[in-house]
A and B are shown apart, each in its own frame.
Chain A
Amino acid sequence: MKVAYYPGCALHATAKEYDDSCQLVFKELGVKLQEIPGWICCGATPAHLTSHLLGVALPCKNLILADEMGLDTVIAPCAACFNRLKVADQEVKEDLELKKDVEKVLGRPYSGRVEIKHPLEIIVQDIGLEKVRKMVRRELEGLRVASYYGCLLVRPPEAVGFDDPEDPQSLDNLVTTLGGEALPWAFKTECCGASFSLSETDIVFQLSGEILNEALEAGAECIVVACPLCQSNLDLRQKAIEKRYRKRINLPVLYFSQLLGLALGMNMRELGLLKHMVDPTKLLEKTLA
């Protein structure tokens, strides 16, 4: 199986470990990722808040590039990129006038042939957890995990068409397959503050603080995520949140690809587990021992 790979800007910078762990895990699972040559930023939130057409044209440009590679599927690990690609594709398909404008801007026809998927979708649906289970070399025995999906992976369901928007299960099922314990908790799809990380950081402290607290109350030893913005808000901002709440939280925030990589036998360094602000190594050494 070969798919086009759209890393997006974050995976080449603050979320390098998400990029590295995805590449390693998919190689092991027998999926060849081919990075889209010359991919550009999807425009993220600022584009769709500034111009509707720009917010659609930027993702479509990347989808056309993927189409030109002759591949029928593109995967985008960043939930924000994934969401923008999905929404743009849906809007262009439903609105002929918009499609015309997008094609005018890009100077090329938009075929809409390329299917957009999140890597989690490929693992849970296309490869299947049965197959993953057979490949597990060491179980994450009893690791108590709060699966955090955030907003853009599951909302709105009409565009993303993946999992349940209020009580999603795919990350939980993956955690269970790897031998961990997926905890029931109420904050799976609450917002972390996302792109306010730099502009309205107080909002991030508030929202991410609530998420971390809830995970702690649920008995979690770590949080697993599928989005670089969620990861950064919960991990990078955790120290400041601890100060604000005058409470020790110390919850490592891991990408699902890192947990899967560990279970498949990869080491912590290559999976970028040393790059997080809240050090997960002690917890994971104990789990894997």
Chain B
Amino acid sequence: MKYAIASEKVRRTFAKQIEKISGERISLCYQCGKCSAGCPVAYAMDYLPSQITRFAQLGMVEKLMQSSTIWICASCKTCSVRCPRGIELAKIMDAFRILAKRRGIVPKGQIAPLFDGIFLGSIEKYGRLHEMGLISKLNIASGRPFKDLSLLPIMLRKGKIRFVPEKVNSPREVRNLIRKVEELESK
């Protein structure tokens, strides 16, 4: 397979964007692979975390954003603790996802970003998470309408899930908060 390494300018711009969001510098990585060795979800990724970091250093933005890796990262922060260069890779993974969402590049079949959107929708509406709403909406959006349905009766019986959402007194305040974040970030 042939890979194209991006120009110096593309590489620098991308590294700066990452640094602005995460406060971390990808240039510090010297490819020891400790992050990949300790990553509990590496088995489910198409590229290892250390490979993704290398793509970032080389400015291979498309390749990186199309990978399943950035969506499979569980944010467990094991890599952040173990990196000998002190890079918080989990924060960089956050930045990749934030940028991918901004650019509208989300590979088909990735359910985690759907989850994020529905989760935040619940906060926007009620100020808090309504789990039942999240589960049903996610199941529909991901084309798995009956997923976990068998758990519902026992969860209802044990009082672990509720049909009616819990609302804060002024959900509008939360909506305003989210609007203001969007305004500031679009500048």
Q: Which residues of A contact B (CB under 8 A)?
A: 9-10, 12-16, 38-41, 43-55, 57-58, 61, 91, 95, 101, 104-106, 151-152, 155-157, 165-166, 189-191, 193-196, 198-201, 203, 206-207, 236, 274-275, 277
Contact = CB atoms under 8 A, between A and B. Distances in A.
Contacts of A201: 147-148
Interface string B92-106: 001101100100000
Given A49-B98, A49-B116, 11 more contacts: A9-B131, A39-B168, A50-B117, A52-B22, A104-B180, A189-B78, A199-B138, A200-B111, A201-B148, A207-B40, A275-B160
Given A49-B116, A54-B178, A207-B41, A193 B135 contact: no
24 contacts: A14-B131, A16-B160, A38-B168, A46-B117, A46-B119, A49-B98, A50-B97, A50-B117, A54-B120, A105-B181, A105-B184, A151-B78, A155-B81, A191-B41, A193-B74, A196-B74, A199-B142, A200-B44, A201-B148, A203-B72, A207-B40, A236-B151, A275-B158, A275-B159
A52 B19 CA distance: 12
A45 B94 CA distance: 9
Contacts of B148: 198, 201
B5 interface: no
B155 A52 contact: no
Contacts of A40: 123, 127-128, 168, 174
A49 B97 contact: yes
Q: State the 9 A-B residue pairs at the shortest beta-carbon distance, nearest first.
A: A191-B76, A46-B116, A9-B129, A46-B119, A155-B77, A199-B115, A151-B76, A199-B111, A105-B180
Interface residues of B, number: 62
A52 B98 contact: yes
